[in-house]
């Protein structure tokens, strides 16, 4: 399926492992997206407040502020920033964690190892859904 | 001894000592310099490979994939570089990483590295066997289960279980049962690697539940994580073992399987003497029985322990409209038990605040 992202679509990648962050960044940049990278939830939240971010992908386990907390903090922000679609990525396949994160307001959930192709597809669907809601 | 001879000996001794100290300082500085150089080189290599890797991985399927040549002296750095991505990347990218690993012949040094004197090297080798699916070296991984370094033995257990080959299950199970109990979650992740077929295997080889409850607790947790309906009959038997932790694990697993036929067997645990069991039963009943569980969940909202009442109220809320109706009725009924009324109101307020109703 061909995807045509709107010009200047901005994605925030929150990931404490720099190698993972860079590889995700590289893949998303190949899609023509503008990618911001944060290495923990605190940095991520700052970027969301400062920039007009369209999509967020965040790791679950991170220092300073984990992904679960980040989702809660973002959802407490006033719209439209508080409604930004969030995809959580975790190395843990714990079902309770997934339920907890989705209940906190995450829009989707993936567990590592992730396929970059699937990640892009999920982000695309989240973006489509959020565009339709707007 | 003449004074000038003593003086001369002292001066000579000082010179020798000074020279030795200077040599040691120089040697230390040289070692540090070498390490810094290696680190700088390692960082440079990592940065260069990180830039090249996306171009290699993210080509169109079927396109020619090439990665820059890796000098022999950099192979050990490259092993570490590649293995860290394997835990993150799945799907086609994982296969491309494996192709790259094999094309460089790094796996040929695995037998040597699995016996290396450095624990970090042994652990790295075991990790590579697992992530790059080098099953031909699994026999050489087995001895590492007895490694004195816990990280190495854990890596070895992961490598063996990720193969999914049940011929290694006994060795891994022995290792698991020797580990500390507080690490149950970590051990569970190891056993999960074997897949759901480990469950019938465990049933056939484990000792009686009353003799080895810990092993059966892992069995129940594993049944829950695989959601394997084949294990339901055994889980129901485990409920009859008078061991609270084992009963708790079995209840958790039965809640995950959510078979309505198991309901009559779970219901008696709503009146168990131990409150953690009652709390788990409260959680399980709604999941297993659906709306039919409402009368029993209402009974549990009167329990003297808060956690049991909270789980029962949550169980009602999870049932959707009919559960919320029961909660609303409890909250408004002046003749209802005070505990039940309070927990119903608390749960309804919680739901209202979040717009869940």
ipTM field: 0.81
Candidates B85, B91, B92; nearest CB to A19: B85
pLDDT at B357: 57
Cβ-Cβ contacts under 8 Å, B225 against chain A: 93
pLDDT band for B356, please (50, 70, 90 cuts): low
Mean pLDDT of chain B: 88
Report the sign of the C-alpha dihedral through residues B283, B285, B290, B294, in that order: negative
Please determine, for residue B117, whether its predicted confidence score (pLDDT) is greater than 90: yes
Distance between CA atoms of residues B207 and B219, nearest Å: 12
Of the listed ranges A21-25, B62-66, B286-290, B298-302, the one predicted with least confidence: B62-66
Q: Which one of A15, A117, A120 would you mutate to disrupt binding with B, by most B Cβ within 10 Å of its Cβ? A: A117
Q: A33 and A10 in contact (C-beta within 8 Å)? A: yes
Does B16 have pLDDT greater than 90? yes
User: Spelled out in words, what is the top-level CATH class assigned to the domain B262-357?
Assistant: mainly alpha
B-contacting residues in A 14-73 (Cβ below 8 Å):
17, 19-20, 22-23, 26-27, 30
> Can you give the pLDDT at residue B77?
86
Burial label, B4 (beta-carbon count in 10 A; 0-12, 13-18, 19+): exposed
Q: Do B93 and A116 touch (CB under 8 A)?
A: yes
Residue A111 host element (H or E): strand A108-111
Q: Tell me what the mean pLDDT of segment B299-321 comes to.
A: 89
Closest CA to B186 of A83, A98, A91, A50: A91
Task: Please indicate whether residue B356 or residue B147 has the higher confidence score (pLDDT).
Answer: B147
Indicate whether B287 pLDDT > 70: yes
A28-42, B173-187, B281-295: least confidently modelled range: B173-187
**Cα(B201)–Cα(B232) distance, rounded to whole angstroms?**
15
Phi-psi region of B157 (alpha: psi -120 to 50; beta: other; left: phi over 0): alpha
**In the structure encoding, which two tokens stand for residue A79, read together?**
């719209």
CATH topology (fold) of A10-133: Rossmann fold (3.40.50)
> Helix, strand, or coil here: B332?
helix
| Cβ B261 vs Cβ B236: under 8 Å | no
Interface membership of A132 toward B (CB under 8 Å):
no
From residue B224, alpha-carbon distances to A101, A120, B209, B249 in Å are 20, 31, 17, 9
- For residue B55, the distance in angstroms to the closest alpha carbon of chain A comes to 9
Per-window interface: A 89-128 vs B, CB < 8 A:
91, 93, 95, 112-118
Q: Are B243 and B213 in contact (CB under 8 A)?
A: yes
Furthest CA-CA distance within chain B: 112
- B228 touches B196 (CB < 8 A): yes
Cα B253 to Cα B231: distance, rounded to the nearest angstrom: 9
- CA B75 from centroid of its chain's CA atoms: 29
Look at phi and psi of residue B170 and say left if phi exceeds 0, alpha if psi is from -120 to 50, else beta.
Answer: alpha
Give the pLDDT score at A88.
92
pLDDT tier at B114 (50, 70, 90 boundaries)? very high
List strands edge to edge, sheet with A10-14.
A34-38, A10-14, A55-59, A86-90, A108-111
How confident is residue B320, by pLDDT bands cut at 50, 70 and 90?
Answer: confident
Q: Please tell me the distance from the alpha carbon of residue B118 to that of residue B102, in angstroms, as a whole number.
A: 23
Interface contact flag, B91 A27, Cβ < 8 Å: no
Distance from C-alpha of B130 to C-alpha of B98, rounded to nearest angstrom: 11
Cis peptide before A53 (omega within 30 of 0): no
pLDDT confidence band for B207 (50 / 70 / 90) = confident
Asked if residues A93 and A123 have their Cβ atoms less than 8 Å apart, the reply is no
């Amino acid at each position: 399926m061909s995807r045509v992202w709107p010009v200047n679509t901005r994605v925030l990648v929150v990931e404490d492992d720099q190698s993972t962050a860079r590889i995700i960044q590289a893949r998303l940049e190949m899609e023509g997206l503008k990618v911001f990278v944060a290495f923990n939830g605190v940095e991520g939240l700052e970027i969301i407040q400062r920039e007009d971010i369209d999509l967020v992908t965040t790791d679950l386990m991170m220092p300073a502020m984990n992904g679960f907390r980040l989702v809660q903090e973002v959802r407490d922000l006033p719209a439209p920033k508080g409604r930004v679609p969030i995809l959580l990525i975790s190395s843990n396949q714990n079902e309770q964690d997934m339920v907890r994160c989705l209940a906190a307001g995450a829009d989707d959930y993936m567990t590592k190892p992730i396929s970059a192709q699937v990640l892009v597809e999920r982000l695309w669907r989240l973006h489509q859904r959020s565009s339709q809601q707007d | 001894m003449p004074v000038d001879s003593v003086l001369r000996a002292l001066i000579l001794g000082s010179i020798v000592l000074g020279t030795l100290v200077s040599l040691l300082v120089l040697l230390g500085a040289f070692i540090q310099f070498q390490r810094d150089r290696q680190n700088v080189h390692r960082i440079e290599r990592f940065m260069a490979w990180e830039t090249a890797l996306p171009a290699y991985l993210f080509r169109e399927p079927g396109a020619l994939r090439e990665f820059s040549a890796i000098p022999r002296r950099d192979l050990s750095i490259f092993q570490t570089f590649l293995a860290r991505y394997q835990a993150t990347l799945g799907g086609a990218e994982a296969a491309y990483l494996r192709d790259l690993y094999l094309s460089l012949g790094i796996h040929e040094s695995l037998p040597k590295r699995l016996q290396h004197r450095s624990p970090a090297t042994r652990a790295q080798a075991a990790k590579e066997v697992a992530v790059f699916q080098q099953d031909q070296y699994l026999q050489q991984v087995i001895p590492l289960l007895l490694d004195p370094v816990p990280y190495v033995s854990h890596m070895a257990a992961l490598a063996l279980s990720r193969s999914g080959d049940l011929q290694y299950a006994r060795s891994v199970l022995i290792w698991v049962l020797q580990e500390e109990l507080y690490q149950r979650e970590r051990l569970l992740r190891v056993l999960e690697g074997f897949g759901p077929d480990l469950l019938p295997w465990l049933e056939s080889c484990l000792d009686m539940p009353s003799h080895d409850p810990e092993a059966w607790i892992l069995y129940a947790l594993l049944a829950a994580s695989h959601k394997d309906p084949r294990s339901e009959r055994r889980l129901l038997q485990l409920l009859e073992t008078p061991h609270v932790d084992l009963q708790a694990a079995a209840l958790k697993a039965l809640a995950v399987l959510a078979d309505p036929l198991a309901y009559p067997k779970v219901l008696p645990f709503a009146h168990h003497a131990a409150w953690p069991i009652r709390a788990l039963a409260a959680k399980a009943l709604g999941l297993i029985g659906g709306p039919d569980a409402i009368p029993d969940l209402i009974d549990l909202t009167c329990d003297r322990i808060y956690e049991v009442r909270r789980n029962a109220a949550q169980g009602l809320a999870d049932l959707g409209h009919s559960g919320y109706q029961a909660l609303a009725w409890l909250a408004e009924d002046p003749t209802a038990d005070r505990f039940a009324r309070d927990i119903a109101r608390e749960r309804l307020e919680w739901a209202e605040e979040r717009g869940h109703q």
